[in-house]
Amino acid sequence: GKSGPEVALVHRPHYDDWSLPKGKLEADETFKAGALREVEEETGLTCELGDELEPVRYRDRKGRRKIVRYWRMHPLKGEFAVSDEVDELRWVSPKKARKLLDYEHDRRLVAGLIDNG
């Protein structure tokens, strides 16, 4: 955005949470291809990859260990459409994202964006 980087947050009605777009890899899919596909599926936006961020490690609701890789992305085209998986997309400043995000591991990642520009 005009006043610095923005963060895309998605609201997932199944969990009633705000999170960063993410998902599982398909068979034989690279991490980069999976990241682009998941972001497009959840936000409707076709993006290009920027720099990779620090990986995020956490345990999910069932106690399973998760490692998620994130990249800065630049939207090229597309527009958001409501789906069963995601019913709202918001573009917000990193500071506002930290307030909206429901999970500490997501807030830590966004805090790194604030600290590192």
Encode pLDDT of 38-82 as tens digits.
999 999 999 999 999 999 999 988 999 999 999 999 999 999 999
Give the H/E segment covering residue 65: strand 65-68
H runs (alpha helix) in 1-117 = 31-43, 94-100, 104-116
**For residue 76, what pLDDT is reported?**
98
CA distance 96 to 6: 10
Q: Average pLDDT, stretch 84-100? A: 97
Separation of alpha carbons 56 and 21, rounded Å: 13
Which residues does residue 47 pair with via DSSP β-bridges, in sequence order?
75
Q: How far is CA 18 from the centre of its chain?
A: 10
Q: How confident is the model at residue 116 (pLDDT cuts 50, 70, 90)?
A: low
Give 3-34 pLDDT, tens digit per residue.
788 999 999 999 999 999 999 999 999 999 99
Answer for the pair 95, 110: CB distance below 8 angstroms, yes or no: no
> For residue 110, what pLDDT is reported?
95
In this prediction, residue 95 has a pLDDT band, given cuts at 50, 70 and 90, of: very high
Report d(CA 39, CA 45) in Å as an integer: 7
pLDDT band at 90 (very low <50, low <70, confident <90, very high): very high
DSSP structure string for 1-12: -TTS--EEEEEE
Which residue segments constitute the domains of the chain, with CATH numbers given?
A: 7-116 (3.90.79.10)
Token pair recorded at residue 94? 């990193």
β-pair partners for 115: none
The reported pLDDT for the residue numbered 68 is: 94
